[in-house]
Amino acid sequence: MPIPKPETAKIQVPTESFKPRKPLEPSVKPLEPAVNPEEKTPETVEAPPRVWEEKHVPSSPLSRILGFGGLAAKLAVGTAAEIVRSGGKGGTYNALVSDSNVEKLAETLCTMRGAALKLGQMLSIQDEAMIPTKLAAALDRVRENAHVMPKDQLHHQLKTELGEDWRSNFQEFDDVPIAAASIGQVHRATLLNGDRVAIKIQYPGVAESIGSDLLNLKRLVTYTNILPRGLYIDEIIRVGKEELTAECDYLSEADNQERFNEFIQQSGMDGKYVVPRVYRELSTSRILTTQLISGVAIDKAVHLSQEVRNSIARRILQLTIHELFNWRFMQTDPNWSNFMYNASTDTVGLVDFGAAREYPKAFVDDYFNIVWAAANEDEKTLVDYSIKMHFLTGDESPGMMRAHIAAGMVVGEPFRSHEPFDFQKSRLTTRLGQHTGEFMHGRLTPPPQEVYSLHRKLAGAFLMCIKLRAVVPCRDVLEEVQRTYYS
């Protein structure tokens, strides 16, 4: 199902509009840096400068086909070599997921980027019990690392989108990226009026190669049997294609970002969160220019005080609940770096809205009943709505049914009591992992398509709370929504 588009009008920017212009008047005061180098406080967190590896993005159809074909050949050779080396001990599958092979897989996905990297990132959030440890480690590396474009390819993209005189729009443009992901990389720049901005630049050929990339990946997975059947790889690929197609349209992302900011403002939460302004005059379907916000990624805030970490975690949970149940519009990418904490303003900056999507009211209403049932240990309601929403068919084995109920009870645990919930001590992920084997063998139907993005975000919110070692009350956040539903 394609992601519904907000009604905000899209502004197509013609190339000829990017001529030297008078400096813009500053309309948004840049946020103060989170860290003042001359006045370090106990709340200061510093990260070492990132060192990027530059590699051209394969942009032609032939180069991408050869990339996947080369990976298949390397895996076959590596598997044969490992079987010979081990004397056949451990079997073919263990040889396939050898250290050497998973390194080749991660390296190829990082080089190809686009749909290949997106699928790797989607798989990296699966429970480790569902994916071999070595493969999970490789996919985690894929999620955290991507190569960046060399300067010649970077500048070509800027010329293509903003015109030959693209530099005339900026006082400064930093050729070294500050972030890189599956479909693009981000650079700092300063506009003529002094505004500091972040410019997201899409990799060449990514949008055009989505379908063929995913087809080649499916063939590779089918040929190698590297992933277990219970993952429903066909569904993951289908959903990945829809998500990636939407994410490649940066004007749609601009719409999402502005719409999200409206929700924040209308909810009276603008003092807790910051959504960067979009610069429409410097944005196209392949370039997105937004206000640069300061701060540190959530995973770098782990050394802050317990009080601050609790405050951040509670805001993440509160935002997630509001997105789903109040707005029915959610930013579904829980990457650590999409949430930036600014200690000097005590705000959480929110970035990257390419994966934002809307959920139908009927779906959200039914899903709330599942969450509320899990929070209140109501097994019958949990099962009834799980069947209604097609998480279950009703014909599952007793073992599968018990595993589904037990997993639901674990997920509902943070919302069960008004007392502060200790996310780290609760061992939520470990306890959920205990049921994975049953899910792999006993699941009779893939989950609803909306769930792939939704559960990625919900799992990410829990993982952020665990990472922050948060101890926070959660029940009242859900009760606020419950009063709205049943008032």
Which positions are annotated as active-site residues?
Answer: 333
Could you tell me which of 19, 28, 26, 27 has the C-alpha nearest to residue 282? Answer: 19
In which residue are the tokens 């009242």 written? 476
For 197-225, give one letter per residue: b (16+ CB within 10 A) or e: bbbbbbbbbbbebbeebbebbbebbeebe
CB neighbours of residue 313 within 10 Å: 26
| CA contacts within 13 A on the Cβ side of 455 | 17
Structure letter (DSSP) for residue 326:
I
Which residue blocks in 181-327 are alpha helix, DSSP H? Answer: 210-224, 233-247, 250-266, 306-321
Q: Read off the tokens for 481.
A: 């929504």
Beta carbons of 266 and 143 less than 8 angstroms apart: no
CA torsion through residues 24, 5, 463, 111, sign: negative
Coil, helix or strand at residue 356? strand
Q: Which helix (H) or strand (E) holds 296?
A: strand 296-297
Beta-carbon contacts of residue 48 (< 8 Å; ≥ 6 apart): none
| φ and ψ at residue 410, rounded to 5 degrees | -65, -45
Could you tell me which of 236, 264, 220 has the C-alpha nearest to residue 70? Answer: 220
Beta carbons of 267 and 142 less than 8 angstroms apart: no
Beta-carbon contacts of residue 87 (< 8 Å; ≥ 6 apart): none
In which residue are the tokens 């939460």 written? 269
How far lies 271's CA from each of 274, 339, 347, 435, 476, in Å?
8, 15, 7, 40, 20
Q: Read off the tokens for 214.
A: 């995913």
β-partners of residue 291 are 197
| φ and ψ at residue 483, rounded to 5 degrees | -65, -35
Could you tell me which of 195, 178, 199, 186 has the C-alpha nearest to residue 284? Answer: 199
Give the whole-angstrom CA distance, residue 426 versus residue 250: 39
Beta-carbon contacts of residue 143 (< 8 Å; ≥ 6 apart): 120, 121, 124, 125, 335
